[in-house]
């Protein structure tokens, strides 16, 4: 069986700009710096699709990919637990 590797899609600057607006992160720096900033600051609230794009772009090892508690953000800005360890003290 041939070696199967995941195809890494390059993120366009336009896509990164949209993600920075969506997750309210500053958009200065190179594409790699922006992607790393998004991953460090917003990985717990990112959608799985956005998170996968960022992690694939950064070429993170499977052990470093985010597997912790996932949160969502309500319209009023409050966090709510989507999956993982959902404890009230985490949300405050």
Work out how many domains the chain is built from and give that number: 1
Within a domain: 31: yes
> For residue 50, what are the domain limits?
13-67
Within a domain: 89: no
Task: Supply the pLDDT for residue 87.
Answer: 64
Kind and range of the H or E run holding 90: helix 88-91
Within a domain: 22: yes
Within a domain: 24: yes
Asked whether residue 91 carries a pLDDT value surpassing 60, the answer given is no
DSSP class of residue 26 equals -
Within a domain: 32: yes
Within a domain: 73: no
Within a domain: 27: yes
Within a domain: 8: no
Asked whether residue 23 carries a pLDDT value surpassing 50, the answer given is yes
What's the rounded Cα separation, in Å, for the pair 57 and 38?
A: 12
- The tens digit of pLDDT for each residue in 52-70 reads 888 888 887 766 777 666 6
């Amino acid at each position: 069986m041939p070696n199967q590797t995941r195809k890494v899609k390059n993120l366009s600057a336009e896509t990164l700009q949209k993600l920075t607006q969506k997750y309210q992160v500053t958009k200065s720096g190179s594409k790699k710096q922006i992607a790393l900033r998004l991953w460090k600051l917003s990985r717990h609230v990112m959608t799985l699709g956005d998170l996968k794009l960022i992690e694939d772009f950064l070429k993170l090892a499977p052990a470093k990919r985010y597997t912790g508690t996932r949160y969502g953000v309500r319209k009023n800005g409050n966090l709510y637990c989507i999956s993982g360890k959902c404890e009230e003290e985490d949300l405050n």
